[in-house]
Amino acid sequence: MSTPVIVNNTAAGTPPPALRKVEARENRIQRLSTGVLLAVIGLMLVWGTFGTAGDAKIALSDAFDAVQLPTIVLPGAVTVALCAVLVLGAALAYLSGRFNKRAMTIAGVVGGVALLIGFITWAAAGSMAVFTMTNQLQGTLAVATPLVFGALCGALSERAGVVNIAIEGQFLTAAFAGAITGSLTKSLLAALIAAILAGMAMGALLALFTLKYFVDHVVLGVVINLLAAGLTGFLFHQLVGSDTAKYNAVPIMQRIPIPGLEKIPFLGPILFNQTALAYLAILMVPAVWFLLFKTKWGLRVRAVGEHPHAADTVGINVVATKFSSVVLGGAMAGLGGAYFTIGSTGAFRPDMTVGNGFIALAALIMGRWHPVWAALMAVFFGFVTQLGQTLNPLGSPIDSQFLLMLPYVATIIAVAGLVGRVRAPAADGEHFVKE
Amino acid sequence: MSTATHEVASQAPEVLHLDGITKRFGSLTANDSITLGLVPGRIHCLLGENGAGKSTLMNILFGLLRADEGTISVGGNVLHLENPKQAMAAGIGMVHQHFMLIPVFTVAENMVLGREPGRFGKLDLNGARKLVRQLSDRYRLDVDPDALVEDLPVGIQQRVEILKALANDARYLIFDEPTAVLTPQEIDELMVVMRTLRDEGRAICFITHKLREVVAVADDITVIRRGKVVGEATPDASEGDLAELMVGRAVNLTVDKAPPTLGKERLVLTDFTVANAAGTIVVDHLNLTVSGGEIVCIAGVQGNGQTELAEALLGTMAVIHGTAILDGVDVTHMPPKKTIEAGLGFVPEDRQRDGFVGDFSIAENLVLNRTTSFSSVGNLDLGRIRSNADERIEEFDIRTSSQSQPVRSLSGGNQQKVVLARELSRPLSLLVANQPTRGVDVGAIEFLHNRIVKERDRDTAVLIVSTELEEVESLADRIAVMYRGRIVGVVEPDTPRDVLGLMMAGVPFEEAARSVEKSRTEHADV
C-alpha cells in the first residue's frame, strides 16, 4: 500500500444482470380481469348485432367546414359483428397469456378501437341523422380542457409529495371567482386572472395546512372541497341570487380559428378552431412536462416528492419547494375552473363542476403521475363525455340518462381494470418533519 | 492524485473543533458536552453503541440538528451551522448510514441535486454527467452516470454517496456507520478509499460500533457512551479493551457453546423457490436441511433472498416451486397461523415493523401469538397474562420499570428480548431468526446469543439469517452462504473471512479458497 490509489474493483458501477422473473401476481390478476372485461363487452356487442338494422352514417366534416369530406356509410350489423369478433379476439389474447408484452399492447389497442367503432356504429345504425366525427372530436377537446388543467394541477402537487384531492374545490372556487369578476368588469382577462388567483389561493390553503400544520392530506382535501362548495353556494345566494344580470352574466370566450391551419381537412376544425382556454391547455402540457423534467426547479420538486430528507441534506428548502409546486398547480386548477363559467356556460351555478376534479384525479393516476400521459387520459375522458352529447340527438337505442353516466363508468373500468398497480411518488402524502 | 494533494494542501486545512456540544431531546441528554477535534490527514474513529449519541453529534455537525450548547469552530472561527447547506459551504461532507439518494433518479441527477448546473433555470444533464465522469476518474471510483440508483448494488450506491460529498470538495468527511451494508471485500475497499482521502489531507470521521474496523483503520479513537466521551484510545488498543470502554463493563465477545449434538433432520427444503410481488425469483431452487440441535446461519449480503426465504418459511410470501418439510409435515403453502402451530418460532428482520405492536404493553406483546391459550370463553385471562409477563421479564432480563410499559419505549435490545421471549415461550421445532441482534447493544447481544444457543441445546433446529459476519462466526455450527437466491455453499464456521467474503459475491468454495490461498502466497513473497 505504498502508493495510495483507490482500487477500481471488479464490480463496475453498473447494475448487475436482473434475476429471472415469473409473471407477478398483480400482473396476472390485471391481465385476467382485462381479458374478462373485454370478453363481456365483446359478448354485449354480439348481442347488439341482432338488434342492429340499417346503416350507420359517420361524417368526417360538418356542413360549415371549408373542406367537405365524404360521409362514411357502414352497414350496421356487419360492422358491429366484425368489431365484436375483434374485441373477443383481444379478450382471448389477454386470457391465454401466451403473448409477449408488445403483442398484448397491440391486442389492447385493436380491442379498444374496435370497441369504440362497434359501440358508435351500434348506437348510430338505422338513424336518419349523421354521426359527425369532427363535432365529436372538437367537443372532446373542449370538454377535456378543464380535465387537462386539473390533471396538470394534480401532477404538480403530487410530484412534490402533496396529495391533492381538492382539485374539485379549486375548480369550483375559480369558476365562481371568474364569474363574479367577469360579470362586474365585463373583461375576460380580468375574469381569467381572478380564476387563476382563486385556484392559487385554494392551493396555498392546501399547502399551508399540510406543510406547516401537518394535517392529513386526504382529510384536508375533503374539507377544502366541502368548504369550496359551501362558500361558493353561500356567496352565490347572498350576492348573486338577487341580481343575476349584474353579478352572474359573464362574457363567454369565443372560438378563435387560427388562420390557415383551420383550413386543414379534418384536423383543422378539430385542433385549430377552439377557445383560447383550450389552446392554453394544449400548450400547458409540454410546458409542465418541461418544468418538471428539464429544469432545476423540477428536479427539486421531484426530489422532495420522492425523498424529502435526502433533498434536505443537500440544502434544498423542502417546504418552500413543495409550496411553490402546489401553488403553481393551483394556477392550473384556476384555469380549469375558468372553463366552467367564462369558457362555456357564461353563468355560475352551485356545484357546477360535478365531479370533474375527481375525474381529473383519475386521469392523473391513470397517466401514472406523468403530465403528458395524464393529459392524454384526460382527453380520453373528454371523448367519452362528449360521446354522450354527440349520440343523444341520433335517437340512439340508449337512454340519454345512461349516456350521462358514461364518463363515470369509463373511469371505474379504466382505473380498476386497465391500469392496475401504479407507482405514486414515494413520499406522496407524507409529512416532512425535520428530525 | 498528486494534483489533488496540492489542491487540498494549498487550502491549508485546519483542525475542526467541536467544543462542549450538548443536545437534549426532552428529558434525554443525547450529547453531554462532547469535545472532539477532527485533524486533517487523520482518520478519527467515533466508537459507541447504538444509541450512544454518535449520529446525533454528527447530525449537529452537518447542520441537520442544532446543539443546545457548545460551539463548532475551524481555526478559531466559530461556525454557525443552521442547515446542511452551511455545513457543506464550510467544507463538511457526510456519507449517511441510510443513503440520502433518490432511488428513481439517475446517478448524475443525484450528484447535482441542490446545486444543479445549467443556465436560466434549465437543468444541464450533460454537465451533470461530465461532473460524474470527472470525479469518477479522479478518485477511480467507477460509476455509470446514467444508471438509476435503485438498480445499483448498495456498495455502488455508497460510492455515489462518497462522490457526492467529494463533488462538494468536502475537507471534513463524516462516514456514518458506512460498513453495515457491505461485504467484507467492499469493506476492505472502503477502508482503502478512506485512507486515500486521508492521505490527500482530508479529515475523516468514521462512526462505527465494530471494533475490528476501528483497530484496522483509525489514527485516533474517541469512545462515547450514553452521550458522554468516556475515553480516548490509540489504534494499538485491544478489541477487548475498546469493548469494555464502549459498554462500561467487561464483555465476553465470544459465545460459549458446546459442540452440537445433532438430532434428527427437522427442516428439509427441496428446490424451494420463492417469487416476490413483482414476480422476480428471489429464492431459486434452494436445497437445505437443518437438524435438531444445530444452528445453521445464512450468511450473505443483504438483498440476496435471505429475508424472503425466512418469510416464505413463515408463510407470508408465495412459494412457487419445491417443498418445505418440518418434522415430516409439508408446510410449503401453509399460512403463518398454521406454520406457527406446526412449531415455527419467528424473529422478523425489522422488529419495529413486524416484531411487536409498539403501543401495546410488554405483557400484551408477550402473548400476541397465543391469545387463545391465554383466554377463557373469549375473554383474555389477565391474571395469567400478568404472571406470564413477570416470568418472562425475569427469565429474559428485560429491563423495564413495569410490565405495562409500552414496548415502543424500550431500548432496541430490550425490545428484541421481548420478541425472543415470546417466540421461545413454547416448545419449538424450528426457530427462524432474521438479524436477531441488529441495532442491539453489546450487552444484550451477549444475552440473546446465549439464549439462542440454549434453544439449540433443547434439540430445536435453528436457522439464523445474518449479514454480520461476527455473529455468523460466533453462532453457527454450519454456515450456508447465499448469493442471488441460491446457496453458494455450506461451510464450517471456522472458514476464513476472506473466503466467506468471496463466496458472498458468488464464488464457489473451492475457487474462493484457492484464490485466497494464491493471494496469501503472493503477499508472502513480497
Give CA B341 to chain center in angstroms: 31
Tell me the ipTM for this assembly. Answer: 0.84
Residues of A whose CB is below 8 A from B121: 295-297
Answer whether A329's CB lies under 8 Å from A322's CB: no
Is the fold of B6-247 the same as that of B258-343+428-526? yes
**Partner-chain contact A8 B114, CB within 8 Å:** no
Residues 6 or more apart whose CB falls under 8 angstroms from that of A119 comprise: A45
Q: Bin B70: left if φ > 0, else alpha if -120 < ψ < 50, else beta.
A: left
**DSSP label of B238:** -
* Listed residue (A158, A208, A215, A190) closest to A367, CA to CA: A158
Q: Cα dist. B431→A142, A157, B266, B280, B342 in Å?
A: 65, 47, 11, 27, 12
Determine the Cα–Cα distance for residues A388 and A386; give it in Å rounded to an integer: 5
Q: Does B68 score more than 80 pLDDT?
A: yes
Residues of B whose CB is below 8 A from A294: 122-123
Highest mean pLDDT of the ranges A376-390, B375-389, B451-465, B512-526: B451-465
> Which of the four pLDDT bands, split at 50, 70 and 90, describes residue A6?
very low
pTM of the predicted protein model:
0.83
Residues 6 or more apart whose CB falls under 8 angstroms from that of A63 comprise: none
**DSSP label of B199:** H
pLDDT above 70 covers a percentage of chain A that reads 92
Predicted pLDDT at A1: 34
* Listed residue (A80, A10, A20, A95) closest to A45, CA to CA: A80
Q: Does A8 score more than 50 pLDDT?
A: no
**Partner-chain contact A5 B100, CB within 8 Å:** no
Give CA B192 to chain center in angstroms: 20
pLDDT above 90 covers a percentage of chain A that reads 47
Q: What is the pLDDT of residues A177-188, one digit of tens each?
A: 999 999 999 999
Return the bridge partners of A306, or none: none
Q: What is the pLDDT of residues A233-268, one digit of tens each?
A: 999 988 887 777 777 888 888 888 888 888 888 888
Answer whether A238's CB lies under 8 Å from A219's CB: no
**Partner-chain contact B278 A13, CB within 8 Å:** no
Determine the Cα–Cα distance for residues A355 and B64; give it in Å rounded to an integer: 43
Mean pLDDT to the nearest integer, B180-209: 88
Residues of A whose CB is below 8 A from B148: 15
Predicted pLDDT at A419: 57
**How far off is chain B from A434, nearest CA to CA, in Å?**
8
Q: What is the pLDDT of residues B235-261, one digit of tens each?
A: 888 888 888 888 888 777 678 888 999
Question: Under DSSP, is residue A23 helix (H, G, I), strand (E, B) or coil?
Answer: coil
Predicted pLDDT at A2: 35
Class in CATH terms, B6-247: alpha beta
**How far off is chain A from B43, nearest CA to CA, in Å?**
15
- Among A299, A319, A324, A435, pick the best mutation site for testing chain B contact (most B Cβ within 10 A): A299
Instruction: List the single residue in A24, A297, A314 with the smallest CB-CB distance to B279.
Output: A24
Mean pLDDT to the nearest integer, B352-371: 91
Class in CATH terms, B258-343+428-526: alpha beta
How open is the CA angle B495-B499-B505, to the nearest 5 degrees? 130
Instruction: State the angle between helix axes of A133-159 and A276-294 in degrees (0 to 180), rounded to the nearest 10.
Output: 40
Q: Indicate the range of A196-210, A367-381, A412-426, B79-93 predicted with least confidence.
A: A412-426
Q: Pick the residue with more confidence: A393 or B279? A: B279
DSSP string, B425-474: SS--SEEEEESTTTT--HHHHHHHHHHHHHHHTTT-EEEEEES-HHHHHH
Q: Cα dist. A12→A86, B144, B171, B242, B489 in Å?
A: 49, 8, 26, 36, 25
Residues 6 or more apart whose CB falls under 8 angstroms from that of A34 comprise: A94, A108, A417, A418
Mean pLDDT of chain A: 87
Set out the domains of chain A in order of their start, with CATH numbers: 26-128 (no CATH), 141-418 (1.10.3470)
Mean pLDDT to the nearest integer, B220-235: 90
Q: Pick the residue with more confidence: A428 or A402? A: A428
- Tell me the domain boundaries of chain B: 6-247, 258-343+428-526, 350-426
Predicted pLDDT at B9: 42
Give CA A55 to chain center in angstroms: 33
Count the residues in chain B. 526
**Chain A: residue nearest B65 by CA?**
A435
Q: Pick the residue with more confidence: B238 or A63? A: B238
**How far off is chain A from B395, nearest CA to CA, in Å?**
36
Q: Does A282 score more than 90 pLDDT?
A: yes
Determine the Cα–Cα distance for residues B152 and B158; give it in Å rounded to an integer: 10
